Amino acid sequence: MSQVFSPFKQFFELVAGDAKACDRRPSMVLYMKALLGPSRFSSVFLFRVDSALHDKGLPWSLLAKLARRWNRLWNNFEISEGARIGPGMYLPHPFGVVIGRISAGSNLIILQNATFGLKDIRFDYQDSSHYPRLGDNVTVGAGAAVLGNIAIGDGAVIGANAVVITDVPAGCRAVGNPARVIPPRTSLLCTSDAELAFEPSAAIDLRGAD
């Protein structure tokens, strides 16, 4: 991210970007609804509230803690307040997603049951240098686990149930357990029956499966 990330100052920009990613018009009514009920926008909105307020001292930090607990309760979505994620974050189904102190660019899409965390539990969980760093327009598939001090490039796609512990260059796909990186396609024509169209949610290339 090019500018200094300040979730408090940029709160409304971030939240407007997230609302647009959910195909909703950013408005106060939407934000009120996000505070009141479980919805796909509410998971991200509560995270934005938490990350904006958590270091502002009492009583705002209590409000931030409440937002975090509310998120965990209503949306089953757990995200650390130290996560620095750009605008346009979208979680179609926030269930089971646990996110540590990662940093990510804009337009991040995370599917259900994904995990972003430490690779080794002996590391300090409060040190963001041990967590993944994601670029812009990354899509993380259902059930994926993205662990450790790795860099996921812009436009990368992480397949369903992948376990990613190595860097993923821009535009590539990472599939399997442990994840192997598949470079971006050079041509749009399918060269074999087993080739699949580019798919963000699964991203499995059968050529690699023997």
Q: x/- string (CB under 8 A) for another protein, residues 70-89?
A: --xxxxxxx-----------
**Which region among 9-17, 35-43, 47-55, 184-192 touches another protein (by CB under 8 A)?**
35-43
3-class SS of residue 102 = coil
Sign of CA dihedral 120, 124, 127, 129: negative
3-class SS of residue 116 = strand
Is 201 a binder of another protein (CB under 8 A)? yes
Cβ closest to another protein, residue 10 vs residue 172: 172
Give the number of residues in contact with another protein, rule: CB under 8 A.
53
22 DSSP β-pair partners: none
Is 120 a binder of another protein (CB under 8 A)? yes
Is 95 a binder of another protein (CB under 8 A)? yes
Pair of tokens at residue 73: 């309760």
Contact 48, 66 (CB under 8 A): no
Residue with tokens 């080794």, as numbered in its chain:
120
User: Which of residues 111, 140, 156, 168 is near another protein by CB under 8 A?
Assistant: 111
Pair of tokens at residue 122: 């002996």
Pair of tokens at residue 97: 């997603």
User: Which of residues 26, 82, 143, 171 is near another protein by CB under 8 A?
Assistant: 143
User: Which of residues 115, 138, 158, 168 is near another protein by CB under 8 A?
Assistant: 115
Pair of tokens at residue 71: 């998120």
**Which region among 19-27, 51-59, 107-115, 183-191 touches another protein (by CB under 8 A)?**
107-115
Cβ closest to another protein, residue 76 vs residue 103: 76
Contact 178, 163 (CB under 8 A): yes
Cβ closest to another protein, residue 88 vs residue 141: 141
Q: DSSP letters along 33-56, please?
A: HHHHS--HHHHHHHHHHHHHHTTS
Cβ closest to another protein, residue 103 vs residue 112: 112
**Which region among 9-17, 81-89, 94-102, 184-192 touches another protein (by CB under 8 A)?**
94-102
CA distance 154 to 72: 29
